[in-house]
Amino acid sequence: MNGNAIISLGLGLQEPWKITGQTLDTEKTPHELRLEVSAERGAKYPCPECGAMCNAHDFITKTWRHLNFFQHHCYVTAPVPRVRCLEHGVKQIKVPWARPGSKFTLLFEEAAILLTMQMPVSVCAGLLEIDDKMLWRIIGFHVNRAMAGIDLSQLKAFAVDETSARREHRYVTVFTDQDRKTRPVAFAVPGKGKETIKAFKNHLESHGGAAGNVRDVVSDMSGPFLAGIGQHFGNARKTVDWFHAVQLFTKALDQTRRLEAKTAKLPTATRWAVLKSGNLTEKQENALSELQRMNLHTASAWRVKKMLRWVRLAATPQAAKWRMTNFLSVASELAASSPLLAPVRKALATVQKHRQAILARWESGYSNARAESLNGIFQAANRLLKK
Ligand SMILES: [Zn+2]
């Protein structure tokens, strides 16, 4: 077996294709290994529609980036024929080493996808020495293809989250199957709100699933999501992700602190002390005691947030319901005293409004454990948006 034959095997070449030349271009840095692939004159090629062996009509020379050959970049060049099929007319054939439209060989793409499963895309792009936009395009293609074949016939519970590419004000909404620990993403669609819920329903039903089989949906408290879920997944119990309830009060607390900082001197370290949940430094502990001793409104907002954590620790649905009632009444009293606490009152009104869906987490068993694993998915979605 000679060198050409070994490389032919690596490329997945089959009749009539052969390696017909190799040159190492040492003028370029890094050096470029150029492989020429072609077929004998007069060879016949399969029609892409029916597979009938046809004569070549004309040729166009194309080049693909292939796996590095040691430290050298490697390119494959071939004259790709259009065939003239008696039945289908003039057609561009498919080459066995690359998918139509790609500037990379299949082996290169496969290696790239394997790498991106192990490390961030920007790092992979650096290793492969390609532009990261190109790498995202490869990932986008293979992800879409995998998604097209997904079987959703068993889907009974899903979570919906939106993410935005901040600078561009563009959104992606991601749907995850709550019963699948690995590869949980069932669907992702550009945009946000009610329309995305309908798009997911269509996707679900064209992949073996049924909207009527969905028993549980986890989401945030956004009106359009909740309305869409009500309309398209009428049999499902709605659960608000606990994370979103906490987020409401974290924001409210920060707003109160900012308002109060304009009129009163807050202890230093207050900002971090009130935002953290546990593991405070000594300085932060002191700041908190100081806040409470001085009877500042920021301290009230902080106590409301701390009490929310107490609700979360309830062991049973009954206990959670009782704690929630308690929380709402004590917190409302705490927050009634000042205009500076208006953000907290607003957060409490939101919780009151979605109380049932927030408490549903104790019944449904679908919690927010996935929130962190979703971060990676969101980053990926953001990058796809920026293409
Ligand atoms: Zn044909």
> What are the extents of the domains in the chain?
3-97, 157-240, 242-364
- Lowest average pLDDT, out of 247-251, 287-291, 334-338, 343-347, goes to 287-291
What mean pLDDT, rounded, does the chain reach? 85
**From CA 309, how far away is CA 339, in angstroms rounded?**
24
Task: Compute the distance from residue 81 Cα to the ligand 1 centre, in Å.
Answer: 14
Q: What is the per-residue pLDDT across 198-257, written as a single tens digit (0 to 9) for each?
A: 999 999 999 999 999 999 999 988 888 899 999 999 999 999 988 889 999 999 999 999
Task: Compute the distance from residue 54 Cα to the ligand 1 centre, in Å.
Answer: 8
Task: Compute the distance from residue 67 Cα to the ligand 1 centre, in Å.
Answer: 32
**What's the one-letter identity of residue 157?**
A
Task: Compute the distance from residue 17 Cα to the ligand 1 centre, in Å.
Answer: 20
- Lowest average pLDDT, out of 25-29, 198-202, 289-293, goes to 289-293
Q: What is the per-residue pLDDT across 161-208, written as a single tens digit (0 to 9) for each?
A: 887 655 556 677 888 888 887 777 888 887 888 999 999 999 999 999
Task: Compute the distance from residue 91 Cα to the ligand 1 centre, in Å.
Answer: 8
pTM for the model stands at 0.64
Cβ 43 vs Cβ 56: under 8 Å: yes
Q: What is the per-residue pLDDT across 352-362, written as a single tens digit (0 to 9) for each?
A: 999 999 999 88
Topology at the third CATH level for domain 157-240: Nucleotidyltransferase; domain 5 (3.30.420)
Supply the pLDDT for residue 342. 96
Maximum C-alpha span of the chain: 93
**From CA 206, how far away is CA 21, in angstroms rounded?**
48
Q: Chain-centre distance of CA 348, in angstroms?
A: 31
Supply the pLDDT for residue 387. 43
Cβ 200 vs Cβ 189: under 8 Å: yes
Task: Compute the distance from residue 83 Cα to the ligand 1 centre, in Å.
Answer: 9
Q: Looking at the predicted structure, is the pLDDT value of residue 20 above 70?
A: yes
Supply the pLDDT for residue 165. 54
Assign 367 a pLDDT band (cuts: 50, 70, 90): low
Task: Compute the distance from residue 32 Cα to the ligand 1 centre, in Å.
Answer: 37
Supply the pLDDT for residue 372. 44
Task: Compute the distance from residue 382 Cα to the ligand 1 centre, in Å.
Answer: 41
Task: Compute the distance from residue 84 Cα to the ligand 1 centre, in Å.
Answer: 8
Whose structure tokens read 């790609």? 102
- Residues 6+ away with beta carbon under 8 Å from 371: 241, 243
Exposure string over 79-102, b if 16+ CB within 10 A, otherwise e: ebbbbebeeeeebebebebbeeeb
Task: Compute the distance from residue 314 Cα to the ligand 1 centre, in Å.
Answer: 68
The crossing angle, in degrees rounded to 10, of helices 282-293 and 297-312 is 110
Task: Compute the distance from residue 92 Cα to the ligand 1 centre, in Å.
Answer: 11
Assign 114 a pLDDT band (cuts: 50, 70, 90): confident
Segment 334-349 shows an average pLDDT of: 93
User: What SS3 state is found at 295?
Assistant: coil
CB neighbourhood size of 384 (10 A):
18
Lookup: tokens for 92: 């561009």
Task: Compute the distance from residue 76 Cα to the ligand 1 centre, in Å.
Answer: 27
Supply the pLDDT for residue 70. 79
Which sign does the torsion angle of CA 362, 364, 369, 370 carry? negative
